[in-house]
Structure 1
Amino acid sequence: MHISIPSNHTMDHFDQEAPASNKNSPINDATQDSTYADSPISNKLVSSDKVSTAVLSATVSPLPKSLNEMDEKTNADIQINNDSGEEKNHNEDIQMIPENNMVIVVPALVLTLFLAALDNTIVTVALPTISQHFHDSSRSFWIGTSYSLATNAILPAVGVLSNILGRKPMLYVSVFFFMLGSALSGASQNMIMLIVSRAIQGLGGGGIMSLINIIISDITPLKTRPIYTGLIASAWGIALVLGPILGGVICQRTTWRWIFFINLPVGGIATSLIVFFLRLLPVQRQPIRLFLQTFDFFGLISVITGISLGASSGHWSRPGVLPYIIVGAVLVIIAMVYDFHTKRNAVLSPTFFKNINSLSLLVCSFIHFLNYYLFSYYIPQYFQRIRGDSPIMAGVHFLPGGGILCFFSISVGIILKKLGRYKPLLYIGAVACTAGMGSLISLGAYSSFSKAMGLTTIYMFGSGFFFLPPLIAMQASFPPSLMSMATATLMFIRNIGGAIGITVGEVIFSQRVTTAFNGDSSISSLSYEQIQQRPVDEQNHIKEAYASAYKTIWLFATIAMAIGAIAVFFVKSVSMDQRAKKVPAKEENDEHV
């Protein structure tokens, strides 16, 4: 492969984020800097007419035959900095940052991710309306499940595929599937068509959510990246909160089909901006034959099959579901064991599980999202089933907490940029999340509205501190060549944690309520209106049973979050002062293989 970058243009646009001593002459000083002394690229940075070779060497490094072969090198590259007490990544890689119009590119990326995240929750309020339209309520659960299932299934493959095929081609494919699924969902003529269309939409949505985070990492240096990833986190949080409200408003004012059709014009605008303004540096793509020889198809199929079997029952707490969950979990474990030993490009690379720092971050993120999904799923239920809120009003009551989450997600990005350290923020987030979740245990059937709102605010404050730092810490712990895989792995683990959280919560709630009513499982699925039709004494008994079940859920979540807080102590402080250079972007499509 050969890519030529004219030396004169490269020199004009070099913007090296380095110590002050190097800024006056980034190329000549770099060759004398001790940081570069042992670097393979130091010998290339000799004269201005060899700059383009240096840029290419640092930007388009050869793909390893297997990520597993990089384990020893990656672990060896992180060493203790005795002066600061931090750990410093001494990997020779210098991140090359393509020049972009960030004022246009970042909003377009954020809007695209917002739409993909919005479709996780926008259908929840519309499910009764859609079920009534198709006269099919037994399979309505799959409208939401098919989307999240497809999203989780594609996430582990996105990182390695984007390294092999290129970021923009993968993003375009993901957007195509998302838009196609949206159009087909809106035009569905029966429940089966809608469920399949939502799965297509979920494949695109999962790719979008992972690739947007990867692309943000590609176009921003590590030191300033928290600001942009804070915007991404806040967009995700806003989408989660606004989804049910927006879905309810659309259903009331027009037809449920516009829940899906709305993605087409908005997504079209965002995609057009990305096509015309996003500039990325090329990656070294593999020939199709080599890709087929080295990609971990067995691991991917095992993960997808395992997740699919786990969700195939429709309702996790139904009898006969346990075998599906067990077989699904076993397949995922088999995939991970296989990936630990394969020489192929593993879908779940052991690189990130053998390193104590990244493993601790994955555990923290898994538990945080387990908690966050539990909270987001069952707090609105508390307001609806016990306090009698409509679905839309339950969403409105969720808005203050969502606003706090978004505010602190953005604020943490700014603080992280200025502070240059993520571990103090992880401590704050872990303690606040644990305390907030623990305080919810005091919520009862007759607790005041102000108490409920106040306690939810504490947890959302903690979550605002916990969304961003694990991602930045994960990226700081590995060289740029592994950044996409590290990002995709973290997002996959997060989503799996969320799915397991909802699963465990549903099992706890169903069993607690069923036990309270001597095995009558039908009581666990009553709405507030159905409860109000019962005799007064029975109404109170049902509400108290519901409140007790929710307390058990909060207790489980508190214990889990406490374990996550302990895992924070094993996270190491890796320096965020990664070297980066801004260079003129060359389109991935211009690459020659």
Structure 2
Amino acid sequence: MSQSRTNVLAVTIAIYVATFVSAVEGTIVSTALPTIVGNLHGVALMNWVFSIYLLATAMVTPIYGKLADLIGRKPVMQVGLGIFIVGSAMSGLSQSMPVLIFWRAVQGIGAGALLPVSMTIIADIYTLEKRAKILGITNSAWGIAAVLAPLIGGIIIDKLSWHWIFFINVPIGLVTMLLFQLYLHEPKRKRAANIDYLGSFWLMLCLLSLMLSFQTLSGQPINWLGFIAGIAISGLSLWLFIRREQRAVDPIISLELFKNRPFIVQNAIAMLINGYLMALTVYVPTWGQGIHGVSATVAGLALTPNSILWVIGAFTTGYFLARWTPRHILYFSLSFILVSGFILALLPLSTPFGWFFVITAINGFGFGIALTATTLTSQRLVSVENVGVATSFNTLGRTIGQALMVSIYGIILNTGMQQSLRHHPGTSMAMMNRLINPQTAGSLPTRLLPALRQVLYNGLHWVYAIGFVIVVLAVVSNRFDHSNEILGVKSEQ
């Protein structure tokens, strides 16, 4: 990166805005989804408005990472932002659910560039010592988005219409493109852009089949045939992708990365703990609304300490990187996540809701260190020309971990509740749907509320138990990390 010409402050602001837009998109659409469904009459397709965005983003993330290394960060970021802006504008103009879902996919394809390329640019313009602090600042966008998105979404829907949920991205995206165009300068790449189109196709088909197969698990009843078919197609595509990459002149993902065990361990840990994170962010509000009867706003605020301590944890990572090995840093940070997971798995039904603020704070501090450390270490474990690929690989692993575990948790919750309902005569799954929504919970018979809360608790208990197992697997995986041997880092311990 041409440090002498690049305006680091302006580029950092552009990166923050791009990260915020990416972070706010999922939450703000979730807030508007009931209104969108009511307006477009597409309740049967409502899950796809959100999931297609995630699927499209996951598919193209590795490709953007490779292109960033081949042709440069700036053109790839500009293309991603351009596609995202078009997808946003057309989503806002949609008049039917199928059309909206199509343009949400386009929007997701553009969004796939925002996070990995942003983190790659940070690696270019900042030293390792400063990088952790900057990642802490940019990560704060996720916390701010978690708090502000429901409020912004509510105001837009009440004062304007759901269409502006998407239209608002257009001016923000254009300003971000302008900042990158004017203030980000990088030398021309000497490497020829020999894009591996066939390898890209097999990789996208593999990821699409994998994530769609797990998406079928969220339906009732579960389409096991569709799940098995998706896994089979994904496995075949993976085999064809590996064969292609072995012969490709410039592979989309170098198979040499998979020989780098510390790199794989770092990304496996990032994938696992992101899978656990979904148990916290999705089901803590469910506990608050269904068991304690608090409003959606109050239930969501229980995650605020997680966001705040996440930023603090990310800021402290630079201090630890200078003194500890990556393995010691992860053992330290994972211990906080392990404690929060253990407490959640053992919480009794009578636990006051205030305890969740403490639990999410503990978890957030651990996550801030762990995810910042895995990102930075992944970048350090590869050659300079592969930083973009390594960063996108890290982002992809985190996305896959979240997407797969959300489907698995949904199955666990539904199975746990269905088994528990058999022991409580007079209750039904329809009543559970009303219980989780505080606005409809009041219409349930008072005499059944204790039983229904017990049913919900039993389902959530198993979600948190599996989440704890996922964290344990991350801790065990860290035992196989030998990053210090490659990086030449010595621990003071």
TM-score normalised by L of structure 1: 0.75
What do residues 258-281 of structure 1 show as CA deviations (whole Å, max 9, x unaligned)? 222221222222221111001122
Choose 241-250 or 207-216, whichever is displaced more.
241-250
> Aligned partner of 2:236: which letter?
I
The residue number in structure 2 matching 1:431 is 335
Within-5 A mapping of 1:243-322: 243-286=149-192, 290-291=194-195, 296-307=199-210, 309-310=212-213, 313=216, 316-322=218-224
Give the Cα–Cα distance (whole angstroms) in 2 for the partners of residues 326 and 284 of structure 1: 45
The residue number in structure 2 matching 1:473 is 377
C-alpha distance 234-246 of structure 1, shift in aligned 2 (>3 A): same
Choose 175-184 or 458-467, whichever is displaced more.
458-467
Give the Cα–Cα distance (whole angstroms) in 1 for the partners of residues 449 and 233 of structure 2: 44
Aligned counterpart for 1:543 among listed residues 443, 448, 453? 453
The residue number in structure 1 matching 2:440 is 530
Within-5 A mapping of 1:49-60: none
The residue number in structure 1 matching 2:398 is 494
Answering whether residue 276 of structure 2 is matched by residue 371 of structure 1, we say yes
Give the Cα–Cα distance (whole angstroms) in 2 for the partners of residues 350 and 241 of structure 1: 40
Aligned counterpart for 2:422 among listed residues 515, 518, 522? 518
> Aligned partner of 2:46: which letter?
S
Secondary structure at the aligned position of 1:449 is classed as coil
Within-5 A mapping of 1:148-187: 148-187=54-93
Secondary structure at the aligned position of 1:370 is classed as helix
Give the Cα–Cα distance (whole angstroms) in 1 for the partners of residues 170 and 348 of structure 2: 43
Contact 2:72-2:186 at 8 Å conserved across structures: no
Q: CA deviation at 1:311?
A: 5.7
Q: Which has the larger radius of gyration?
A: 1
Aligned counterpart for 1:446 among listed residues 340, 350, 356? 350
Answering whether residue 7 of structure 2 is matched by residue 105 of structure 1, we say no
What do residues 210-252 of structure 1 show as CA deviations (whole Å, max 9, x unaligned)? 2111222222333432222222323234334433343234323
What do residues 31-55 of structure 1 show as CA deviations (whole Å, max 9, x unaligned)? xxxxxxxxxxxxxxxxxxxxxxxxx
> Aligned partner of 2:209: which letter?
G
C-alpha distance 563-228 of structure 1, shift in aligned 2 (>3 A): same
Aligned counterpart for 1:572 among listed residues 474, 482, 488? 482
What do residues 541-577 of structure 1 show as CA deviations (whole Å, max 9, x unaligned)? 1111111211111111111101101111222243768
Answering whether residue 95 of structure 2 is matched by residue 189 of structure 1, we say yes
Contact 2:331-2:475 at 8 Å conserved across structures: yes
The residue number in structure 2 matching 1:558 is 468
The residue number in structure 2 matching 1:323 is 225
Q: How many residues align?
A: 479
Aligned counterpart for 1:362 among listed residues 267, 275, 282? 267
How large is the RMSD of aligned CA atoms in angstroms?
2.5
Give the Cα–Cα distance (whole angstroms) in 2 for the partners of residues 532 and 514 of structure 1: 22
Give the Cα–Cα distance (whole angstroms) in 1 for the partners of residues 145 and 42 of structure 2: 28
What do residues 104-147 of structure 1 show as CA deviations (whole Å, max 9, x unaligned)? 11111111121012112211122111112223322111111111
Contact 1:513-1:545 at 8 Å conserved across structures: yes
Within-5 A mapping of 1:137-152: 137-152=43-58
Give the Cα–Cα distance (whole angstroms) in 2 for the partners of residues 308 and 505 of structure 1: 15
Contact 1:112-1:271 at 8 Å conserved across structures: no
Give the Cα–Cα distance (whole angstroms) in 2 for the partners of residues 217 and 159 of structure 1: 13
C-alpha distance 312-552 of structure 1, shift in aligned 2 (>3 A): closer
Secondary structure at the aligned position of 1:556 is classed as helix
Q: CA deviation at 1:416?
A: 4.2
The residue number in structure 2 matching 1:408 is 313
Q: CA deviation at 1:102?
A: 1.3
Secondary structure at the aligned position of 2:74 is classed as helix
The residue number in structure 2 matching 1:333 is 235
C-alpha distance 363-438 of structure 1, shift in aligned 2 (>3 A): same
C-alpha distance 419-261 of structure 1, shift in aligned 2 (>3 A): farther
The residue number in structure 2 matching 1:121 is 27
Give the Cα–Cα distance (whole angstroms) in 1 for the partners of residues 348 and 97 of structure 2: 38
TM-score normalised by L of structure 2: 0.90
Contact 1:155-1:488 at 8 Å conserved across structures: yes
> Aligned partner of 1:309: which letter?
L
Aligned counterpart for 1:388 among listed residues 275, 278, 293? 293
Q: CA deviation at 1:308?
A: 5.4
Secondary structure at the aligned position of 2:113 is classed as helix
Q: CA deviation at 1:502?
A: 0.7
Q: CA deviation at 1:161?
A: 2.4
Larger proportion of helix: 2
Contact 1:227-1:417 at 8 Å conserved across structures: no
Aligned counterpart for 1:222 among listed residues 128, 145, 164? 128
Contact 1:299-1:346 at 8 Å conserved across structures: no
Structure 1 unmatched ranges of 5 or more: 1-58, 60-95, 579-593
> Aligned partner of 1:135: which letter?
H
Secondary structure at the aligned position of 1:124 is classed as helix
Q: CA deviation at 1:499?
A: 0.6
Greater RCO, CA 8 A, separation 6+: 1
Give the Cα–Cα distance (whole angstroms) in 1 for the partners of residues 299 and 16 of structure 2: 26
- Name the % identity: 24
> Aligned partner of 1:321: which letter?
N
Contact 1:245-1:395 at 8 Å conserved across structures: no
Give the Cα–Cα distance (whole angstroms) in 2 for the partners of residues 333 and 524 of structure 1: 37
Secondary structure at the aligned position of 2:89 is classed as helix
> Aligned partner of 1:554: which letter?
Y
Within-5 A mapping of 1:54-69: none
